[in-house]
Chain A
Amino acid sequence: MLFNSFVFFFFLLTVLPIYYLLKTKRHRNLYLLGVSYIFYGYWDWRFCFLLLASTIIDYILGLKMGAVTEPKKKKLFLYVSIIVNLGILGFFKYFNFFIESFQHIGSQFGYNVDFLHLHIILPVGVSFYTFQSLSYTFDIYKGNLKPIRDFWDYALFVAFFPQLVAGPIERAVILIPQVSRKNHATKQQFLDGTILIIYGLFKKVLIGDASGRFVDQIFTHMDRYSSWEVVFAWVLFSVQIYADFSGYSNIARGTAKLFGFELMKNFNQPYLSTNITEFWRRWHISLSSWLRDYLYIALGGNRKGKGRTYVNLFLTMLIGGLWHGASWTFVIWGGLHGIYLAVHKLMLGNKKITAVHHPLNSIRNVLKVLPGMVFTYLLVLIAWLFFRAKGMHDVYAVVGKLENWTWGTYPWRFATILLGFAGVSFICDLFEYKTQSHVFLNRIKYPPLMYGLLCAMFIGVALFLINSKPAPFIYFQF
């Protein structure tokens, strides 16, 4: 079920009142678990079995890990959890990728190894919930969390529908205490939740989906478009993916709030970062912090010397790239960010980045941070090309277009459209940045004025959804 569909809207309007009619925590959790499985099964009911299997295995391993005191045995259970979770991910997501890569290498050396290719359907959100599930066993292993006894509560932690298919990848230490208590949204949570949902829909639908239509058409048939139109699509993709993902995360957070749950912020105006390290503290925060805590630190982090730190950074980002999709372009995307981060770390030396909020209250302050923001954006933009490309042939096609420059028939119109999308996205970011909040609309002094604005936003979204088909969320493919 897509958040940006009328069916989700009806689903939420049905599910929410029934939730509050239930009196006990147990009833509410069981009910939420049921509707979460319905939400997930709406794509394909068979996916539910995989979700259930992953849940049962990690629940049992968590209990086992909590019951043993011997570090060796604890480690063994952790390894089993890692193998099972990454095994699921590996089979459904990477099996064909590795087989094809192996076949390709074999054919380069004259060996015909054309033996296996399975028609595997990638279950929606499998990368998200396996990572969330892994965070549970990691936290128990580290001693940060005690294993949860109630299976149904644990199952809800894994399957909680607002964040099931596309995050934020919640930490067990944050979400499990919430599922273990009776939740009731406060008035403020209701208001903030509603604002987040409508604002998220605005970003997802009216910026993300609307811009994605241009991007998809141009990227699929680059040979039919001019150089400027291809560059337009490339830059627009950077706007699309941000609006798409941050909008979706806002809807997820807003929906969770309506049920009395709090999910973490996943985006914090990443394009206003002044360097690449800061960018990764603002972009897909739940994944980047997951990778930092469970991968980078596990690899040794910065504890094993400078050289090893750079290698660890690079490896973490490389694996992070592969997490996004089974393709070499994602590996290159991750690798590029790994290089950016390692180089930045090298340049920083022993200096540490502490402040990630720059006061943009005067021209002088803006000018001070602007070159860094522009440079960081350009670095990120270069990497986005690999992220969007369906293969290296797309990257070569773009390079070819840059070498033989053409403007096309409507250069100004494409420029204006880009300005429209990027401008509105930027304005949203500025408001968020200034208020340090995604619900900046509730800062409006007169609430009825804010309700009027929200109503207009919702009308815009509804008009778009009726006139155009809802676009699936980009990160669903991951």
Chain B
Amino acid sequence: MIKTILRSGLFIAGLIAGLIFLETYFQLIEFQMPYFELSPIQGKKMLPSKRIVYFGEGFYMGTTNQYGYLGTPYPKKKDPKKIRIAMIGDSYVEGFQLFDKYHFARIAERKLNLGLPSPKYEVLNFGVGNYDFNDMMIAYMNYVKEFNPDVLVFLVKYDDFMSSNNFVPSPVIKPFKDSVIIDYSFTKSKIYKVYKKLSFAFDNSALVYAANNAYKISKRKDEIDGILFDKFYTAFRKPSAPPEGMSPSFEAEERFIRSFAWVKDKRCIFLFRSDIPKGLTEKANKMNIDVYNVDQALKKEFTPKGIEYDYWDVTREHGHWNYVAQDFVGDYIYKIILSERQKMEQSKR
């Protein structure tokens, strides 16, 4: 009996020593460094001053700034002589496929500041991977707004405007009478409570972060079966049905349309990287929101030339916008802001 206890104790000691070694090693080589927290008012949110190394289709190395967003740390108080643009969106805005200097937000900022006389521009990157329109709007209301942006650029796709089954507990925009409110009931969920109890480990340990990501992957059947069974899985896999909501007649949910009112006092731009939901442009325009389709522009520019703007040559994968597309989108945004500026200047005259 004592022998068994002693053996078990030694095994656990070895396991713990091994895990501590792994944690130190992961921290040194920056593998799976945590940079998210679960905020009670925003859901998934970046932690301030965190190192990030990310390998997806490409390679990113950077940090979140002391304010908890990406890129140059512009403080909350805005210089009135400058124009501040907030980029809000998902992984496309987050841009973890290439270094910050090659990201379209930075390219647009450089172009605006080099090509135009003052006022100068500040572009703030509030992109967070997997954000849908619900998350973007809540992030704007509870976080981005504090930075007093003059222009809001939302990079969206059509299915951002439909209910998503998000694994990460988050606040939700809900209809309330003629308007909408934010429901924070997720803070009462079991998973959020567990997170809160263990938040120190979740927010700091690379090993816990890796385990958490592995757990999330294990919940996506297609992905985990592919990882585990490789060709044995892919050879016998039935072709999956197209995801719901792909129909061209798809309309945005009413609660999201109503939430447009939250941004009506700002210059707001929706950049679509997909088809636009039916009737959304008209409804957005009514709220002084301009709608553009950057995906169409990309296709028009690159498809005739045979250039794949989402192809990554190192990993040989299709995915997010690659370097050429980033240049194009940076320039596209620059031109939009430029035309807005010209319109404003003309109206002043």
Interface residues of A (CB under 8 A from B): 5-7, 10, 42, 206, 210-211, 213-214, 216-218, 220-221, 224, 409-410, 413, 416-417, 419-421, 423-424, 446, 448-457, 459-460, 462-468
Query: Chain A: interface secondary structure?
Result: helix
A42, B231: Cβ atoms closer than 8 Å: yes
Residue pair A213, B214 in contact (C-beta under 8 Å): no
The 10 listed contacts between A and B (C-beta, < 8 Å) are A10-B228, A206-B25, A210-B29, A210-B31, A213-B59, A409-B99, A413-B51, A456-B16, A459-B19, A460-B22
B229 touches A6 (CB 8 A): yes
Contact (Cβ within 8 A) A417 B11: no
| A459 CB contacts on chain B under 8 angstroms | 18-19, 22
A150 to B66, CA, bound (A): 72
What residues on B are CB-neighbors of A221 within 8 Å? Answer: 314
Chain B 228-246 per-residue mask, 1 if CB under 8 angstroms from chain A, else 0 = 1111100000000000000
Contacts known (A224-B102, A413-B51, A451-B11); A421 close to B227, Cβ less than 8 A = no
CA distance A465 to B213 in the complex (A): 12
B335 interface hit (Cβ, 8 Å): no
A449–B227 touching, CB < 8 Å = no
Instruction: Choose from A416, A449, A454, A456 the contact partner of B10 (Cβ within 8 Å).
Output: A449
Is B213 within 8 A of A467, CB to CB?
Answer: yes
Is B268 positioned at the interface, with any CB of A under 8 Å from its CB?
no
A466: chain B residues within 8 A (beta carbon): 213-214, 217-218, 224, 227
Are A448 and B10 in touch, CB under 8 angstroms? yes
Q: Does B25 contact A465, Cβ atoms closer than 8 Å?
A: no
Complex A-B, nearest 4 residue pairs according to Cβ-Cβ distance, in ascending order = A452-B14, A456-B18, A420-B28, A217-B59
Q: For A11, give the chain B residue with the smallest CB separation.
A: B232
Which of these, A5, A216, A424, A463, contacts B210 with CB under 8 Å?
Answer: A463
Q: A451-B11, A453-B18 are in contact. Are A419 and B28 (CB under 8 A)?
A: yes
Q: Does B264 contact A (CB under 8 A)?
A: no
Is B207 interfacial (CB-CB < 8 Å)?
Answer: yes
The reply to whether B25 and A452 form a contact with Cβ atoms under 8 Å apart is no
Cα–Cα distance between A429 and B206 once the two chains are bound (Å) = 25
Bound form: Cα–Cα A409–B102 in Å: 13
Asked whether B14 lies within 8 Å of A216 as measured between CB atoms, the reply is: no
**Contact of B214 with A467 in the complex, beta carbons under 8 Å:** yes
- Are B314 and A455 closer than 8 Å at their CB atoms? no
- CA distance in complex: A413, B59 (Å): 15
Q: Are B22 and A224 in contact (CB under 8 A)?
A: no
Q: How far is the CB of A236 from chain B (nearest CB, A)?
A: 10
Q: State the CA gap A455–B16 with chains docked (Å).
A: 10
Residues on the A chain within 8 Å of B218, using CB: 466
B32 adjacent to A448 (CB under 8 Å):
no
Give the shortest distance, in Å, between B14 (CB) and chain A (any CB): 2
Q: Return chain A residues, CB-CB under 8 Å to B11.
A: 448-449, 451-452, 455
CB-nearest residue of chain A to B58: A217
From A6, A424, A455, A460, contact of B228 by CB (8 A): A6
Chain A residues, Cβ within 8 Å of B101:
409
Q: Return the contact of B231 from the options A7, A210, A409, A453 (Cβ within 8 A).
A: A7
Please judge, given known A-B contacts A417-B28, A420-B28, A424-B25, whether A455 and B217 are in contact too, CB under 8 Å: no
Q: In the complex the two chains form, what is the Cα distance from A452 to B313 in whole Å?
A: 40
Q: How far is the CA of A413 from the CA of B30 in the complex (A)?
A: 9
Does B211 have its Cβ within 8 Å of any Cβ on chain A?
yes
CB distance from A32 to the nearest CB of B (A): 21
A-B contact sample (8 more), CB < 8 A, given A421-B29, A467-B214: A10-B228, A10-B229, A213-B59, A217-B59, A224-B98, A224-B323, A449-B10, A459-B18
Contact B207–A463 (Cβ < 8 Å): yes
Q: Contact between B59 and A448 (Cβ–Cβ < 8 Å)?
A: no
A453 to B7, CA, bound (A): 13
B118 at the interface (CB under 8 A from A): no
**Is residue B61 within 8 Å, beta carbon to beta carbon, of the partner chain?**
yes
Residues of A near B224 (CB, < 8 A) are 466
A330 to B133, CA, bound (A): 52
Q: Would B28 and A463 count as touching, CB distance under 8 A? A: no
The interface residues of chain A lying within 8 Å CB-to-CB of B191 are none
**Max count, chain B CB within 10 A of own CB: residue among A216, A417, A453, A464:** A453
**Distance in Å: Cβ of B241 to nearest Cβ of chain A:** 25
Report A-chain residues with C-beta under 8 Å of the C-beta of B210.
Answer: 463-464, 467
Residue with the highest number of chain A CB atoms closer than 10 Å, among B19, B213, B217: B19
**Are A463 and B15 interface neighbours, CB within 8 A?**
no
For window 1-55 of chain B, which residues contact chain A by CB distance below 8 Å?
7-8, 10-19, 21-22, 25-26, 28-32, 51, 53, 55
